[in-house]
């Protein structure tokens, strides 16, 4: 807090766009303000009407000061529908932690309960100086804070959080990072993550400005602004206000047709839950009153699940849309370029380990030589730290009967945000296949950080559109910022039921783009009867589409027979052919073709002998 007086934080919920270039991602952000008695009497009705959701109010300071506005703000704010909380301004240089905690509890204890914000320890340098680090070692200050926090938690059953600045957050010991963090970062923005949170791994609140204007707060033109790091559901969990909260899980979410799914009720209540009512779209049965039902899904598609629970203290319901995926059957070849307005593509499925997770989305502003692709924008530009989250996009099932030595290929664009900081802000792309409709998975591709990077840079090659970790959100500036990657699918020869998963492993680093996901319908690489005497050289490879092929039979004499050179794309379609004489050099021009992997095949003109074959890579 910038003022050692009354402090109130009021937080509003709104939607904001942070992506440019015609592609907007709307992320839910919970914002707020902090004020003091310096702002005068607050009109809480206007504050609530302006969109404010909750507020912290200063209760006490040291062992002798009770803020005269505290009780009024708690009562009037709560009456206006604002969720209220209390905080204590500490003077560890003067008092014991137990004395300060008990004084705070004597004033604010009745306001520390469910449906209220957790209590806050405001740990700042003394207003008259010097800094806390002049009074304490890191160990002794940490010990003081631990005792205060533990005393309050023991008395209330609710874990407090700590308000602290970057300097002191780096000075204290890491044992404090088990408590929630409210970080002072006043000279920033609501959307930029704080650059320094000291020994903490994540944060709950951030003070990002001292100059906000809030209706209903007229005592000063400049009000402190804050942001909550989380979703509405996470906020509701923080204040523990639900008398009844419906929730459930299942043993699987992606299944083959005809498979049973077991659902487990995870609902909670301050009373006794006595009734469950389920609705299963596409399921058999389609309703149930069991607490933990089992349902069979027979028809491919994505289906919602709804649960209603009744308790002695109320009722609650929850509906998860597109929760169950019954795999559809796709037909090879696969050539997905994401040019349709439909996303995910028909038969594909977004798998979210947590229903509130971020997800793969359709990018409508850029692609590889196009205006659309799929991307994972939540890795950059939003307030909520999603590091550690893994989200998948599943394909339909494909049959590889009669397909041998196939390949999966795709275009990727990515640039890490920062590989030198701690923690490193970089992300990973993983690709898997499953032969049992998603019950188990085998990894076939894993690249992250500098290995995944397609620009040769970690900060400058992309177009910066919004601040993130001191850098901008990556937008591929040209086709040269993309790379074509391919994966052998030889292990899938003859398999009848194969689906693929494209997984973003977030390090909260930068936006990841994918385009042109291809699989051929037949082998383009099986080799029979190769005449080993021939020497076929191709250079440069990779190239921009122009290759030189040198064909020389060495000591082999084949009379006047010529050679047939053909080039195929990933779908097995012939895109180039030429007849070459032995001992000759020829130019292959694929400059008008899309970047990617192609296959060349050299045969005798009569077609009875395969001389050589290999790959051509167009960048």
- The DSSP secondary-structure symbol of 170 reads H
Instruction: Set out the domains of the chain in order of their start, with CATH numbers.
Output: 8-239 (3.20.20.80), 242-325 (2.60.40.10), 327-523 (2.60.120.200), 535-618 (2.60.40.1930)
> String of b and e for 33-56 (b: at least 16 CB within 10 Å)?
bbbbbebeebebbebbeeebbbbb
Residues 234-240 have a mean pLDDT of 83
Range with the largest mean pLDDT of 218-222, 412-416, 471-475: 412-416
- Report pLDDT digits (tens) over 326-377: 998 888 888 899 999 999 998 899 887 665 567 899 999 999 988 999 999 8
Residues 589-608 have a mean pLDDT of 77
Question: What 3-state class would DSSP assign to 605?
Answer: coil
Is pLDDT of 19 > 50?
no
Query: Which helix or strand (DSSP H or E) is residue 393 part of?
Result: strand 390-394
The residues annotated with a catalytic role in the active site are 34, 122, 124
- Other CB atoms within a 10 A radius of the CB of residue 108 amount to 27
Predicted local confidence at residue 446, as pLDDT:
94
- The DSSP secondary-structure symbol of 161 reads E
| Model confidence, pTM | 0.53
Q: Which residue has the tokens 């010991």?
A: 173
The residues that bridge with 503 in the sheet, in sequence order, are 392, 430
Is pLDDT of 15 > 70?
no
pLDDT bracket for residue 460 (50, 70, 90)? low
> String of b and e for 472-499 (b: at least 16 CB within 10 Å)?
bbbbbeeeebbbbbbbebeebeebeebb
Predicted local confidence at residue 21, as pLDDT:
27
Is the peptide bond preceding residue 540 cis, with omega within 30 degrees of 0? yes
List of E strands, 427-482:
428-434, 442-448, 467-468, 471-472
Give residues with Cβ within 8 angstroms of 405, minimum separation 6. 488, 489, 490, 493, 523, 525, 526
Is pLDDT of 155 > 80?
yes
Q: Closest Cα partner for 409 from 343, 538, 500, 537?
A: 500
Range with the largest mean pLDDT of 224-238, 461-475, 499-513: 499-513
Q: How far apart are CA 288 and CA 279, in angstroms?
A: 7
Is pLDDT of 158 > 70?
yes
> Chain centroid to CA 32: how far?
24
Q: How far apart are CA 39 and CA 50, in angstroms?
A: 17
Q: How far apart are CA 509 and CA 388, in angstroms?
A: 11
Question: Percent of the chain at pLDDT above 90?
Answer: 39
Q: How far apart are CA 278 and CA 65, in angstroms?
A: 54
- Report pLDDT digits (tens) over 192-221: 888 899 999 899 988 888 888 889 988 767
Predicted local confidence at residue 140, as pLDDT:
96
């Amino acid at each position: 807090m910038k003022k050692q007086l009354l402090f109130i934080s009021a937080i509003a919920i709104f939607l904001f766009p942070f992506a440019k270039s015609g592609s907007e991602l709307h992320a839910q952000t919970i914002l707020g303000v902090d004020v003091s008695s310096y702002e005068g009497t607050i009109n809480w009705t206007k504050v609530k009407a302006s969109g404010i959701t909750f507020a912290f109010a200063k209760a006490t300071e040291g062992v002798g000061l009770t803020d005269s506005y505290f009780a009024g703000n708690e009562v009037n704010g709560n009456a206006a529908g604002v969720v209220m909380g209390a905080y204590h301004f500490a003077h560890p240089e003067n008092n014991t932690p137990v004395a300060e905690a008990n004084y705070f509890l004597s004033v604010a204890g009745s306001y520390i309960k469910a449906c209220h914000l957790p209590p806050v320890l405001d740990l700042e340098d003394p207003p008259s100086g010097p800094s806390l680090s002049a009074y304490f070692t890191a160990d002794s200050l940490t010990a003081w804070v631990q005792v205060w926090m533990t005393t309050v938690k023991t008395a209330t059953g609710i874990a407090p959080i700590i308000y602290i600045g970057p300097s002191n957050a780096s000075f204290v010991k890491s044992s404090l990072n088990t408590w929630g963090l409210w970080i002072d970062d006043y000279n920033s923005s609501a959307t930029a993550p704080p650059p320094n949170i000291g020994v903490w791994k994540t944060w709950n609140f951030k003070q990002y400005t001292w100059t906000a204007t809030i209706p209903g707060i007229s005592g000063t033109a400049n009000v402190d602004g804050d942001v909550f790091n989380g979703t509405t559901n996470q906020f509701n969990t923080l204040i523990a206000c639900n008398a009844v909260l419906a929730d459930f899980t299942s043993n699987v979410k992606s299944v083959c047709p005809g498979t049973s799914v077991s659902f487990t009720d995870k609902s909670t209540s301050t009373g006794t839950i006595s009734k469950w009512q389920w609705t299963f779209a596409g399921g058999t049965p389609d309703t149930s009153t069991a607490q933990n039902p089992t349902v069979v899904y027979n028809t491919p598609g994505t289906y919602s699940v709804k649960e209603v629970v009744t308790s002695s203290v109320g009722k609650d319901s929850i509906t998860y849309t597109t929760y169950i995926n019954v795999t559809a059957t796709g037909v090879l070849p696969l050539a997905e370029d994401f040019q349709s307005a439909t996303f995910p593509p028909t038969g594909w499925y977004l798998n979210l380990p947590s229903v509130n997770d971020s997800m793969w989305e359709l990018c409508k502003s850029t692609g590889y030589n196009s205006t659309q692709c799929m991307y994972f924008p939540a890795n950059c530009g939003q307030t909520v730290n999603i590091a550690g989250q893994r989200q998948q996009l599943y394909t339909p099932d494909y049959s590889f009967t009669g397909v041998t030595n196939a390949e999966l290929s795709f275009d990727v664009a990515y640039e890490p945000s920062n590989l030198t900081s701690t923690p490193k802000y970089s992300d990973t792309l993983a690709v898997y296949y499953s032969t049992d409709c998603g019950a188990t998975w085998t990894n076939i591709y894993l690249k992250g950080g500098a290995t995944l990077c397609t620009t040769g840079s970690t900060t400058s090659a992309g177009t910066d559109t919004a601040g993130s970790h001191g850098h901008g959100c990556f937008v591929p500036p040209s086709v040269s910022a993309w790379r074509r990657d391919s994966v052998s699918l030889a292990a899938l020869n003859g398999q009848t039921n194969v689906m693929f998963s494209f997984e973003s492993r977030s390090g909260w680093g930068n936006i990841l783009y994918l385009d042109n996901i291809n699989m051929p319908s037949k082998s383009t690489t099986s080799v029979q009867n190769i005449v080993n005497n021939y020497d076929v050289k191709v250079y440069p490879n990779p190239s921009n589409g122009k290759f030189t092929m040198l064909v020389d039979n060495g000591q082999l004499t084949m009379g006047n027979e010529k050679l047939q050179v053909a080039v195929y794309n990933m779908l097995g379609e012939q895109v180039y052919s030429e007849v070459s004489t032995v001992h000759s050099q020829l130019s292959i021009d694929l400059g008008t073709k899309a970047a990617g992997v192609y296959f060349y095949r050299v045969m005798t003109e009569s077609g009875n002998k395969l001389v050589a074959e290999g790959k051509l890579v167009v960048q």
